[in-house]
Amino acid sequence: MGVLSSLYTGVSGLSAQGEALGVIGDNIANANTVGFKASRAEFQDIISKNLKGILGGNQIGRGTKIGAVNPILSQGNVDATEKATDLAISGDGFFVLRGSDGESFTRNGSFHFDKDGYLVTNDDQRVQGFQADAKGTIINKMDDIKFPTALIPAEPTTEIKMDLNLDSRIQEVKTFDIKDPYSTSDFTTGIEVYDSQGNKHLMTMFFNRTADRTWTYRGLVDGKEVTGGVEGEPSQVTEGQITFTVDGLLDTEQVISSNFNFKGGALQNQQIKIDFGDSITTDKGTGIVGSKQYGRDSDLISWGQDGSAAGTITNLSFNDEGVLSALYSNGQTKDLAQVSLAKFENPEALFKVGSNRLKEASSSGSPSVGKPNKAGRGKIFAKSLERSTVDLAMEFVNLIQNQRGFQANAKTITTTDELLAEVINLKR
């Protein structure tokens, strides 16, 4: 009986070593698989007989078996690429995917956009992320990451911010004449504004010193662009007044008239605020930020407005927080979504479903999904991929070790066979 049991012991070793060789072979085969985590076969011994029963001691083993095949969840090297949709995770976490077989997870960030605008894997699993609202603010809503194919709506100008200096040395008071605005004003600059349909209009601002520290401004456009105007003749769309302190700081801002009535079916009586800065009296501010009146040539320092024409997407990119941003043909940028990451209490228990994807298991715990670089989740690297954690040198060492183990167990069987032959020969 003892001799026969050694056969089974040898067979268990052959089986276990063969399975271990299969794990090593799988590691070697996936040495270039993006995001792949090498696995390790872990052996367990088998106890078949206690010579002293429950007293223990003098135990005879029955061989070995594979107790577990555990992934080695070390960080793979992060290599830079030139593809905008390549993403790598540095740290804990998995990309969240959704497909016909439900939710799954991966470390393989080799993504692309399909014909419908969805961010997908090579096997058409849709990448999940936090969505952005109409203003481009990332909100706590999970869904497929997708870029819009429709035109971004036009945005009418509602506010113009101007930072300028008006020359305090000017003494002559000019009487403004709309028919000859350039000769009858002290300073001129051009500003672009958009109507409700996204049409761009050039508004020329004319400034006149009317008293000490007091200036009147007027905004004129070509008459062909506004209701009731005449082509080739300037039409006034806004007028106001600003004053300064004795220190040259912005004190008050006053709107005298506003008549933004652009043609072409645009919104009539469009409201556009012209903000010259942090005025002391009007805004209860300091007067430091914004327009000034100093003894130097009048000049426009900077300006900006919040309107835009309708536009289409010309470029998409991810940043290092996993935020997908779009650049539009009208010069606007907008955040569309942010990649989400799932973290598990026991990620080693996730089971493989092929295509470099994993699924939740009962012993892995439920996924904790959140934003990258938060609550222990890893950081995202854009235009990068995480390489396989397979160390070929170590795998070949393990390969040799398991090969020798396989040969040794085979020798156990052949030796047992020789002993059995001797037993049979005793009958002679």
- pLDDT surpasses 90 at 330: no
Specify the number of domains making up the chain: 3
Q: Are residues 217 and 252 in the same domain?
A: yes
What's the confidence (pLDDT) of residue 420?
A: 81
Whether 320 is in a domain gets the answer no
Whether 118 is in a domain gets the answer yes
Q: Which two tokens stand for residue 334?
A: 């907008």
- pLDDT surpasses 60 at 306: yes
Whether 330 is in a domain gets the answer no
CATH number at residue 227: 2.60.98.20
Whether 175 is in a domain gets the answer yes
Q: Are residues 52 and 106 in the same domain?
A: no
Domain residue limits at 36: 2-74+390-425
Whether 252 is in a domain gets the answer yes
Whether 328 is in a domain gets the answer no
CA pair distance 369, 374, nearest whole angstrom: 10
Asked if 237 and 263 count as a contact pair (C-beta separation under 8 A), the reply is no
DSSP summary character for residue 58: S
Q: Are residues 167 and 261 in the same domain?
A: yes
Q: Which two tokens stand for residue 283?
A: 């805004």
Q: Are residues 163 and 278 in the same domain?
A: yes
What's the confidence (pLDDT) of residue 57?
A: 61
Q: Are residues 418 and 358 in the same domain?
A: no
What's the confidence (pLDDT) of residue 293?
A: 97
pLDDT digits (tens, 9 = 90+) for 34-89: 999 999 998 888 876 665 656 556 677 778 888 888 888 899 999 999 899 999 99
Least confident of 36-45, 269-278, 282-291, 364-373: 36-45
Asked if 207 and 187 count as a contact pair (C-beta separation under 8 A), the reply is yes
Q: Are residues 136 and 194 in the same domain?
A: no
- Residues 6+ away with beta carbon under 8 Å from 406: 13, 14, 17, 18, 21
Q: Are residues 142 and 249 in the same domain?
A: no
Q: Are residues 377 and 402 in the same domain?
A: no
Whether 313 is in a domain gets the answer no
Whether 324 is in a domain gets the answer no
**DSSP characters over 42-86:** EEEEEEEEETTGGG--SEEEEEEEEEEEEE--PPPPEEE-S-TTB
Q: What average pLDDT score do residues 253-280 get? A: 96
Q: Are residues 170 and 253 in the same domain?
A: yes
Asked if 384 and 86 count as a contact pair (C-beta separation under 8 A), the reply is yes
